[in-house]
Amino acid sequence: MQRILVAVDGLPGSAKALEVAVEHAQMKGGRVTALAVVDRSGDPILERMADDARKRARGQLEEILQAAVNFARTRGVQLTPALREGHPADAIVTCAEQEAAELVVLGSHNGTCRRPGLGGTADQVCNHAPCAVMIVR
């Protein structure tokens, strides 16, 4: 049974990544872990964010994870939600290691990056993940 990790954040790219991860699990008989990350990457602006705002962000991510569980369930796929805090790329790589993931699925940068390349998080995950990484557009 293949272990798949998919990063979700509520943006269109992560919704597509979730769809692909669940389809892949259906075809291969795998199980999926959906990871959402509360960004605590050391950015001074984010670190000054009020506790209330951080709690709201956490609540939104919990809702996104529950929607992912429901989506997978309707397709007969077991999905385990995971919520972490930290730098998104570090959290994804660490979770992939801890879950012994065989595939990490990420959405593209959703067009927010104006420079060529995958985007910071995807680049870092591709370079450090202990398994295959699939980027979904």
Compute the residue count for the chain: 137
Closest of 22, 27, 33 to residue 79, by C-alpha: 33
Q: What's the predicted TM-score (pTM) here? A: 0.87
Residue range 32-66, pLDDT digits in tens: 999 999 877 666 665 665 667 778 889 999 999 99
Q: How confident is the model at residue 30 (pLDDT cuts 50, 70, 90)?
A: very high
Radius of gyration for the alpha carbons in the chain, expressed in angstroms and rounded: 14
pLDDT reading at 116 higher than 50: no
Residue 3 pLDDT > 90: yes
- pLDDT higher than 90, residue 109: no
Residue 110: pLDDT band with limits 50, 70, 90: low
Q: How many CB atoms are closer than 10 A to CB 28?
A: 13
Chain segment 71-94, per-residue pLDDT in tens: 999 999 999 999 998 899 999 999
Could you identify the residue written with the tokens 């993931």? 101
What is the structure's pLDDT at 114?
44
Mean per-residue pLDDT for 112-130? 75
Going along the chain from its start, the domains and CATH numbers come out as 3-136 (3.40.50.620)
Tokens of 130: 């202990």
**Does residue 73 contact residue 39 with C-beta atoms inside 8 Å?**
no
Q: Higher-confidence residue: 53 or 101?
A: 101
Write out pLDDT tens, residues 6-26: 999 999 999 999 999 999 999
